[in-house]
């Protein structure tokens, strides 16, 4: 196909693309991302570092790198994080080298971050395309129900998650795509459609 293209033109999918999936608690980011990863070998997950305690179903190195406060301080000092944030009293950050190495190899990377993180990843000007996807539950009522159903936290922590969720929704205009997660299957198909289209995007190279 390349021999058909005029000089200075390429297809975005020839290089790695960073697909950032953000959205409020209860949007179903983790479920959508696991489904995407299991269906597309060209996608790889950016495992974040966090100081939050591990939940029983989570695996170190797969879901997060669970690190101490000191280790997190060291990551910041070394400039090892592309971005980091504080969420409900715990720190979360994206390891820089891991993401860049995969993009350089031509692999697409999926990131699960809160809204400020998504903005920071775009602002970091990685030299690779960054696609910002905002995932939402079908309604506020459903968001509240999903956060409650998770049930791993105190009433206070739940209220804080809901307050943060309200605030996060205000940032939808900064994103490229809005995906409603009413059914997991359909939400995954919608994100897959975005990924397919972004890979076919025509880019002008210098």
Nearest distance in Å: CB 21, ligand 5GP: 8
Region of 32-40, 107-115, 128-136, 179-187 interacting with ligand 5GP (CB under 6 A): 107-115
Please list the residues that pair with 10 across neighbouring strands.
203
Give CA–CA dist 137/93, Å, rounded: 24
CA neighbor of 132 nearest in space, from 172, 81, 185, 186? 172
Does the protein bind ligand 5GP through residue 137 (CB under 6 A)?
no
Are residues 39 and 87 in contact, defined by beta-carbon separation less than 8 angstroms?
Answer: no
Is residue 52 classed as helix, strand or coil in its secondary structure? Answer: coil
The least distance separating ligand 5GP from the CB of residue 64, rounded to whole angstroms, comes to 7
Are the beta carbons of 152 and 54 closer than 8 angstroms? no
* Identity of the residue, 28 or 93, whose beta carbon is nearer to ligand 5GP in the bound complex: 93
Among 20, 33, 35, 113, binds ligand 5GP (CB under 6 A): 113
Provide the token pair at 160. 């804080």
Coil, helix or strand at residue 37: helix
Binder among 44, 51, 94, 181 for ligand 5GP (CB under 6 A): 94
Three-state DSSP at 53 gives coil
Nearest CB to ligand 5GP, comparing residues 44 and 94:
94
Q: How far is the CB of 142 from ligand 5GP (least distance, A)?
A: 17
* Residues near ligand 5GP (CB under 6 A): 29, 48, 52, 83, 85, 87, 92-94, 112-114, 116-117
């Amino acid at each position: 196909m390349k021999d058909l293209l005029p000089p200075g033109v390429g297809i975005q999918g020839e290089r790695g693309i960073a697909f950032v999936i953000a959205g409020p608690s209860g949007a179903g980011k983790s479920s959508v991302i696991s489904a995407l990863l299991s269906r597309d070998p060209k996608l790889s997950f950016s495992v974040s570092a966090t100081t939050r305690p591990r939940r029983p179903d989570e695996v170190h190195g797969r879901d997060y790198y669970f690190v101490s406060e000191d280790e997190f301080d060291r990551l910041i000092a070394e400039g090892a994080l592309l971005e980091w944030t504080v969420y409900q009293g715990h720190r979360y950050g994206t390891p820089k080298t891991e993401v860049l190495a995969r993009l350089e190899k031509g692999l697409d990377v999926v990131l699960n971050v809160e809204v400020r993180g998504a903005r920071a990843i775009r602002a970091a000007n990685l030299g690779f395309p960054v696609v910002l996807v905002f995932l939402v539950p079908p309604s506020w009522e459903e968001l509240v129900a999903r956060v409650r159903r998770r049930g791993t936290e105190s009433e206070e922590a739940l209220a804080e998650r809901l307050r943060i969720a309200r605030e996060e929704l205000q940032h939808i205009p900064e994103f490229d795509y809005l995906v409603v997660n009413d059914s997991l299957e359909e939400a995954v198909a919608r994100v897959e459609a975005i990924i397919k289209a972004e890979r076919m995007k025509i880019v002008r190279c210098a």
